[in-house]
Copies of this chain bind each other. A is one copy, B any other.
Amino acid sequence: MGDDNTVRIGLLGCIRFASKFVRTVTQSSNAVIIAISDPSIETVNTFAAANNLSPETVLVYGSYEELLNDPRVDAVYLTMPVTQRAKWAVTAAEKKKHLLVEKPPAQNAAEIDKIVEACESNGVQFMDGTIWLHHKRTVKIRETMFDSGLLGDVRHMYSTMTTLVPEQVLERLTKEAMGLAGAIGELGWYPIGAALWAMSYQMPVSVKALPSSVATNSVGTILSCSASLQFGSTATATAIVHCSFLSQLSTDLAISGSKGSTHMNDYVIPYKEDTAWFEYTSGAKFAEMHIGWNMMPERVTVDCSGTEESQEATMLREFVRLVQGIKRGDSEADPRWQEISKKTQLVVDAVKKSVDIGCEVVYL
C-alpha cells in the first residue's frame, strides 16, 4: 500500500470511465488505489476484474458509506451521476477525505458552495476532474501566447464540446441522469471553462443563450445549446460556446486576439495520448497583393510520451502533491481549484438560466 507519503485513494462509483483513472494511478509512483465502491456490489466486482484490481490489495465495498468509514483512505474519486455528487462530496469531506470529483462536480453553484464549505471546515483538498487544464500543452499555450504577449488582448473565442448520442438514447437522457443543466453542464462545462481559462478567470459580465441553438428532448433535457459570453462592459472580449449531443465529436478552441490567434481541435482530449500540438499566428496579415498570408501558422508540439506525462498523470500529480503537503502538515488546501470549479459552474448556471427565461441576457 506504499509508504506513508503515498496517497491512498478510494473510488466512489465504478463507472467504466473510471478505468482511465485506475490506469493512471497504477502507473503513478506516489498514489495507489486501495478501495473501490458502488451501491451495486456486482458493479464493483465487475470493475475490479476488468481493471485487474486484485482483492488482495484492493478493498471492495458495496456502499459508499463503508468506503468513507475506512480510515486508511486518504482521498476519493467521485464518478457517480452528477445529481448525487454534491451530497457524497460533502459526506466524504466530513470524513476527512480529499476530493477529486468528476466534472461537473455538482448541479449548480449552490451545491459547489456546500462542497467547498465542507472541504474548508475539514481541511481537505478539492479538485474537479477537468483534465485538460493539467495538460502540458495547456501550460505551454499559456506561456507561448499569453505570457509572451504574442496573442495580445483576447477579442473573440470559439469553443465547442459536441459528441453524438444515438437517437434512441437521446430520450433516455433524463434530468435525473444528467442534472438540471443537461448538455450545458455535461458538455458545456468544457467550452465555458476554456473561455474562462483564456480570460485568466475574469468572469463575464453577461451571458446569453442563442435561441436558435437550443434543442431539448421530450422530457425537457437540454441536448444542444450555444451561448455568447461578454467579458468587460463593451465588446472587449466575447466568447461563443457550443455544446451538443447532436453533432459528431468536436472539441474546438479558437482564440483570436489583438495580435495573434491560436487553434486546437482536440483541447479536451488530444487526438493522441503521447503528443499534442497547437497552432498559432502572431502579426498575421495577407501578403502583398493578397495572394497568401505573410506567414504560415506555427505548430508547437508537446511531447507527452512518458507514462507520467499524460494529462491524467499530470492532474493526478498535482492532486497528490497538494494532498501530500496537507498530510505532512506543510501546507493547507489550495483554494485555486475550487475557485475555478465555482466560476465555471456560475457561468453554466447563467447559461441555463438564460435558456429558462427565453434566451434573455443574464448578468453575472
Contacts and interface: CB of A to CB of B under 8 A. Distances in A.
A19 interface: yes
A297 B265 contact: yes
A211 B212 contact: no
Given A212-B208, A238-B213, A258 B290 contact: no
A271 interface: yes
Interface residues of A, number: 70
Contact of A263 (B228, B265, B290): B265
A256 B156 contact: no
A210 B238 contact: yes
Contacts of A252: 158, 254, 263
B281 A293 contact: no
A20 interface: yes
Nearest to A249: B284
A259 B248 contact: yes
Contact of A256 (B160, B269, B284, B310): B160
B208 A210 contact: yes
Contact of A240 (B224, B240, B270): B240
A125 interface: no
A283 B297 CA distance: 27
A324 to B, nearest CB: 26
- Between A214, A228, A256, A266, the greatest number of chain B beta carbons within 10 A of the residue's beta carbon is seen for A256
Given A212-B208, A228-B210, A293-B271, A256 B162 contact: yes
Interface stretch (A38-46, A57-65, A92-100, A229-237): A229-237
A172 interface: no
Contacts of A285: 163-164, 249
A228 B249 contact: no
A248 to B, nearest CB: 6
B296 A156 contact: no
Contacts of A246: 155, 235, 258
A164 B234 CA distance: 18
A290 B265 contact: no
A257 B248 CA distance: 6
A269 B288 CA distance: 12
B249 A226 contact: no
Contacts of A364: none
28 contacts: A20-B290, A23-B289, A156-B162, A156-B250, A162-B256, A163-B285, A164-B259, A206-B212, A208-B212, A212-B229, A212-B238, A215-B235, A244-B256, A246-B258, A247-B261, A248-B258, A248-B260, A248-B284, A249-B285, A252-B263, A265-B279, A266-B293, A269-B291, A270-B292, A272-B292, A272-B293, A273-B292, A291-B310
Given A249-B286, A254-B254, 9 more contacts: A19-B289, A152-B248, A156-B213, A208-B211, A215-B235, A226-B228, A240-B242, A246-B258, A248-B259
